[in-house]
Amino acid sequence: MDLKAQDKPDILCRVFKIKLDHLIRDLKEGEIFGSIVEYFRLQSPDDKDRFISAEISYSKSNKDLYEAVQTYMVYGSYGLYNVNSPCMTHGHCTKMFPKEFRQRKIIDEVGFPKYRKRDDGRTMQKKEVHLDNSYIVPYNGKLLLKYACHLNVEYTCQTSAIKYLVKYMQKGNDRVTATIYEP
């Protein structure tokens, strides 16, 4: 039998719950972002860049991280490289990929982070397309290696980010709508 993950949603849900419980424990116990006394605040852009990356890792220094980024953290629709992608509207990617190159992370005027994405010539190949740092989704290397899944890590400094997080958790084809009725 050639089963895929979507063929066994009950097992998939259990594995997700196990990973979620481990993630919450890691965050609470301070293994990933350091110990939490009251609030954990990243003070400088360098602090933020140390914990959240949106760049291709150097393959020579950590091949496992390079492969995890390539597998899980590259924006999958490729924006302008795939004009038939569902994210493309009127010739533009609705998810704003590719992102602009920048030397340091900044917070824009609305309060959203714009991550460091250096134009350093590094690329990785997905299908037949060579993609650079402008197509990398923000991640934490330790979390990515531990959980081996798409795990978007974002720095938030405003309450409106809750709307984004709720929307993000509710999107996708992994949702189910069920109706129970009596014939």
- Position 112 scores a pLDDT of 77
Cα–Cα distance measured from residue 29 to residue 164, given in angstroms and rounded to the nearest whole number: 26
Positive or negative torsion for Cα 73, 140, 23, 159: negative
Q: Under DSSP, is residue 53 helix (H, G, I), strand (E, B) or coil?
A: strand
d(CA 133, CA 57): 9
pTM: 0.67
How far from 157 is each of 38, 40, 180, 181, CA to CA, in Å? 16, 12, 41, 45
C-alpha to C-alpha distance for 100 and 168, rounded to whole angstroms: 22
Tell me the C-alpha distance between 12 and 24, whole Å.
Answer: 18
Note the pLDDT tens digit of each residue in 33-88: 666 655 455 566 666 677 889 999 877 778 999 999 999 999 876 666 777 788 88
Tell me the per-residue pLDDT of 106-152, one tens digit each, with 9 for 90 and over: 878 777 788 899 999 999 888 788 889 999 999 999 889 988 988 88
